Amino acid sequence: MSTLIAPEVAGRLIAVPERSPWRAALRAAATVWAVFAAAQLAVSALARLPRGDATPMILAWNNWDAGHYVRIAASGYHLGPGFPAFFPLFPLLIHLAGGGVVAALVVANAATLGALAVVHRLAEHEFGARVAGRATWYLAAFPMGFFLFIGYNESLFLLLAVGALYAGRRGHWWLAGALGALSSATRLFGLVLMAPLAVEYLRQVGWQPRRVRADLLGVALVPLGLVAYAWYCAVELGSPLAFSVAQDQWGRRYTVPGGAWITAWQQAGGHGLLDPVTLGAVVDAGTTLVAVVLLVLAVAGPWRFRRDQVYLVVQAGLTLVLLMSTEVGGRAMQSAARYAMEAVAVLLVLARMGERPAVDRAVLVLGASLHAAFLIVFMSGKFLVA
């Protein structure tokens, strides 16, 4: 027996628009961005009142790497031997936006809005709308989340890296490769994307090499950002490895996986409890330890991921291994607390745990409080959270 639907009812059903997932993601991202941007402005203003500091607030956000990016955008890489260590896409976008600190903030915040939206889409695709909403808030509330809102390339890298993962997950391999190439023109760690993208591609073809298609070459696009920068270095700076030599100028070196973790605690033990070296080591190594524990929960326990989500574990695992193997300027795991935001699986595990109201409140309150505290420390020019 067939079921008849009146023409006017059918017309109404056809006219109802489907929910746009990207529209929902952008709306959620805009809300989160507006709340935290306003909070960051308020915290920054209040932090400067007691000192009566007349320095413009946005200049206080221009400490450390932010100032280097602005200078490169204005004058190129012929500023000194250490400047090629800063990859070109972010300063190029600053230059195209008009140059200066304000342009850096505009680019960073536009990328933050995009990164929040892409994280929402990835999380919703994998775990549903509720987890996506929490993941978006948790990213902004991350203790080092203020780096998303100032003149650093953190938000741009997140936008491109998570975008590449999401595109690959949906089977858009040429887009995934293009975004991956842009990520490797933003930061050397963009090369890490090749592994999770390759794993996801092989999963989608059933781990059968005979089913591999030409779009696998999309994964091979990821290093092109680095290759293009190396070519520029060869032409303009006299060596295709000028960026690597520049990293040596900053004292960057890599140890065996986990070696920098041990060094960090050794460095902390050689100074007083409130010494900046000790505090920096605790922040970096402690954040990485929490991230490792959360990643373990992604593979074992009630919040473990499905087998088809292994690409997320691969991306986060490689990111954390690299963080635990890096030293800069004699400080083990420097900036690891900031780079831990890039371990997407860690964020998603936390968002799944946040289904419990007590956990959700604890993550938001603790994260936002530390976010505000570390922002104030950063504005003071302390090396602790550089």
**Which residues, other chains included, contact 374 with Cβ-Cβ below 8 Å and sequence gap of 6+?**
143, 144, 146, 283, 384, 385
Q: Considering the domain boundaries, does residue 308 fall inside one?
A: yes
Local confidence pLDDT in tens for the 386 residues of the chain: 444 444 444 444 444 444 689 999 999 999 999 999 999 999 988 877 555 554 567 777 887 889 999 999 999 998 888 899 999 999 999 999 999 999 999 999 999 999 999 999 999 999 999 999 999 999 999 999 999 999 999 999 999 999 999 999 999 999 999 999 999 999 999 999 999 999 999 999 999 988 989 999 999 999 999 999 999 999 999 999 999 998 887 767 777 776 766 776 666 666 655 566 667 777 888 888 899 999 999 999 999 999 999 999 999 999 999 888 877 666 667 788 899 999 999 999 999 999 999 999 999 999 999 999 999 888 887 665 66
Q: Considering the domain boundaries, does residue 134 fall inside one?
A: yes
Q: Considering the domain boundaries, does residue 296 fall inside one?
A: yes
Separation of alpha carbons 18 and 205, rounded Å: 30
Q: Considering the domain boundaries, does residue 218 fall inside one?
A: yes
Q: Considering the domain boundaries, does residue 7 fall inside one?
A: no
- pLDDT recorded at residue 2: 42
| Position 56, amino acid | P
Separation of alpha carbons 16 and 30, rounded Å: 25
Looking at the 3D structure of the chain, how many domains does it have?
1
Separation of alpha carbons 2 and 216, rounded Å: 46
| Half-sphere exposure of residue 102: CA atoms within 13 angstroms, side-chain side | 2
Q: In what order do the strands lie in the sheet with 326-328?
A: 253-254, 326-328, 331-332
- pLDDT recorded at residue 11: 43
DSSP state of 327: E
Task: Report pTM.
Answer: 0.90
Answer for the pair 177, 194: CB distance below 8 angstroms, yes or no: no
Which tokens is 14 given?
A: 């056809």
- Number of H helices and E strands in the chain, helices first, is 18, 3
Q: Considering the domain boundaries, does residue 121 fall inside one?
A: yes
Q: Considering the domain boundaries, does residue 1 fall inside one?
A: no
- pLDDT recorded at residue 247: 85
Token pair 């290093």: residue: 223
- pLDDT recorded at residue 53: 54
User: For the chain, first and last CA: distance in Å?
Assistant: 70
DSSP state of 306: P
Provide the domain limits for residue 59.
Answer: 24-385
Strands 326-328 and 253-254: antiparallel
Q: Considering the domain boundaries, does residue 86 fall inside one?
A: yes
Query: Taking each helix axis from N to C terminus, what angle separates 344-353 and 154-169, rounded to the nearest 10 degrees?
Result: 80
- pLDDT recorded at residue 3: 44
| Half-sphere exposure of residue 109: CA atoms within 13 angstroms, side-chain side | 19
| Position 160, amino acid | L
